[in-house]
Structure 1
Amino acid sequence: MRNNILITGASSGLGKGMAIEYAKMGRNLALCARRVERLEELKTELLKINPNITVICKSLDVNDHDAVFKVFGEFKQELGQLDRVVVNAGMGKGASIGTGYFHANKQTAITNFVSAIAQCEAAVEIFREQNFGHLVTISSISAVRGFRRAMTVYAATKAGLSSLSEGMRIDLARTPIKVSTIHPGFIRSEINEKVKTAPFMVDTETGCKAIVKASEKEGANTFVPAWPWSIMQLLLRIAPQSMLAKMS
């Protein structure tokens, strides 16, 4: 059983939702995010759910890459070991390419991909030292195709993260270290709160339960919720661009 679980971007959205689900399961939690005051509020909530677990909170901006290694190391030292690390921190700023929003697109690219590399590096270094561990990367259904407007760079970063995860999985195949990639469909959270319509949108709790369930199975690639996204991801790969235009 993966008892000690580290989650980045845990102060809101999917990170917070996953922490709640893991608390119900009796897992110890190492939670980090920029908004430490929100983490402390979440810690209180989690200990009400299950007073027998350990919850450690630390401030972390994943774009401070040196801090990623430092904070992950501190969590490992304080808990004794890290059994699972969930690379969840991300953002969805951006606009169509060439419309004057390079700064926002760059910020999303760095946060979602470059900083994900830093988190994976820090986690797998610890796992290699321990000779065990489970890395979970939170990608997106958008990783399977390109999308337009605000989704263009976001989708590209998630495609990159999925590819990165597969590379690590190949590299670590003969070790006790596992790598899983979760591809959520449309789950309501702070990152997409301005999106008015999206197909098959589910609430945060439903989505997070599906993510945690998939993480527990430790499969290579999982699309959640399974219905309809395990089928939709196959259709998206062959869908005409006209269909994609209606989804973003």
Structure 2
Amino acid sequence: MSMSQTILITGASSGLGEGMAREFAAQGDNLALCARRTDRLEILKAELNRDYPKVTVSLRALDVNDHDQVFSVFRAFRDEFGSLDRVIVNAGIGKGQPLGTGKFGANRQTAETNFVAALAQMEAAMEIFREQNRGHLVTVSSVTAIRGLPGNVTTYAATKAGLASLSEGLRVELAKAKSPIKVTTLYPGYIRTEINEKVRNTPFIVDAETGCRAMVKAINSGKAECFVPAWPWTPIGFLLRRLPVSVLARIF
């Protein structure tokens, strides 16, 4: 991309959000970064200011479960920069336990953060994009969204499937209206971050830098849906959609 863009990223203090911020800064984009942990954001901003002095980096505290705050923070960033070119709905958590094991609190927290809070972020972004009549909304789903999965992943996978469905419904609506607003859904495979650092024996896992570089490349492509990294997750996603439950039970 030749022209710099203004990109808002939620959950930017660690993991995929932090990694994507570095990649976008490297290509000269201005950044609106928000997360609960502003101390982590300050460290990231100092690094980006040092490495990419021409890039503007603005920070705001945001707990995505405070829905009113989502709207006010997104609007404040829009007012500060004059417009927003791209919003990446990235904030999420990886908690979750098998259903019926007394851990409803963890599953509810996962559902509220990964789906209801994501809905708030999409609403806030689309409100701005509709006013501008342009923009690119990016939602970070997961390869686990492709099928219902067992155990600790059941609720997480369901929230990511819900997020993907919201995104697709919006794409259909915008296509019908011939709107210039674009919506991209990312389905990351296994990328090593804080959310999964304790998980061992994970197949096809890549380091955060490799994963985030693939995510930014996919976002820049403007495609509707992308598995990232494309290899091996595009063919794996194709297979996952078609495997019978009996086979899924043996794999997972």
TM-score by length of 2: 0.96
Match of 1:27 among 26, 29, 33: 29
What residue is the counterpart of 1:58 in the other structure? 60
SS class of match (2:151): coil
What residue is the counterpart of 1:101 in the other structure? 103
Q: In the TM superposition, what is the alpha-carbon distance from 1:243 to its structure 2 partner?
A: 4.3
How many percent identity over aligned positions?
A: 63
Q: Which runs of 5+ in 1 are unaligned?
A: none
What residue is the counterpart of 1:145 in the other structure? 147
Is residue 198 of structure 2 the alignment partner of residue 166 of structure 1?
A: no
Q: In the TM superposition, what is the alpha-carbon distance from 1:241 to its structure 2 partner?
A: 3.3
What residue is the counterpart of 1:130 in the other structure? 132
Mapped to 2, the partners of 1:194 and 1:236 lie a distance apart of: 24
RMSD: 1.1
Contact 1:32 1:39 in 2 (8 A): yes
Mapped to 2, the partners of 1:208 and 1:47 lie a distance apart of: 20
SS class of match (1:150): helix
- Shift of the 4–197 alpha-carbon distance from structure 1 to 2, 3 Å rule, reads same
Mapped to 2, the partners of 1:30 and 1:197 lie a distance apart of: 35
Mapped to 2, the partners of 1:82 and 1:90 lie a distance apart of: 21
SS class of match (1:76): helix
Q: In the TM superposition, what is the alpha-carbon distance from 1:10 to its structure 2 partner?
A: 0.2
Deviation string, structure 1 residues 191-233 (Cα, Å, up to 9, x no partner):
1112112110000000000000000011111101010011100
Mapped to 2, the partners of 1:45 and 1:175 lie a distance apart of: 37
- Shift of the 175–2 alpha-carbon distance from structure 1 to 2, 3 Å rule, reads farther
What residue is the counterpart of 1:220 in the other structure? 224
SS class of match (1:238): coil
Match of 2:207 among 194, 203, 218: 203
Match of 2:187 among 162, 174, 183: 183
Paired residue type of 1:68: V
Mapped to 1, the partners of 2:19 and 2:251 lie a distance apart of: 25
Q: In the TM superposition, what is the alpha-carbon distance from 1:242 to its structure 2 partner?
A: 4.8
Q: In the TM superposition, what is the alpha-carbon distance from 1:244 to its structure 2 partner?
A: 3.1
SS class of match (1:107): helix
Contact 1:92 1:150 in 2 (8 A): no
Runs of 4+ deviating beyond 6 Å? none
Mapped to 2, the partners of 1:72 and 1:120 lie a distance apart of: 10
Mapped to 2, the partners of 1:184 and 1:169 lie a distance apart of: 19
- Number of aligned positions between the proteins: 248
Mapped to 1, the partners of 2:147 and 2:81 lie a distance apart of: 39
SS class of match (2:42): helix
Mapped to 1, the partners of 2:236 and 2:4 lie a distance apart of: 30
Is residue 243 of structure 2 the alignment partner of residue 239 of structure 1?
A: yes
Mapped to 2, the partners of 1:241 and 1:10 lie a distance apart of: 36
Q: In the TM superposition, what is the alpha-carbon distance from 1:246 to its structure 2 partner?
A: 5.5
What residue is the counterpart of 2:45 in the other structure? 43
Deviation string, structure 1 residues 160-211 (Cα, Å, up to 9, x no partner):
0000000011111211100000100011111111211211000000000000
Deviation string, structure 1 residues 127-156 (Cα, Å, up to 9, x no partner):
000110000000000010011111000000
Contact 2:10 2:33 in 1 (8 A): yes
Deviation string, structure 1 residues 6-33 (Cα, Å, up to 9, x no partner):
0000000000000000010000000000
Mapped to 1, the partners of 2:25 and 2:119 lie a distance apart of: 27
SS class of match (2:33): strand
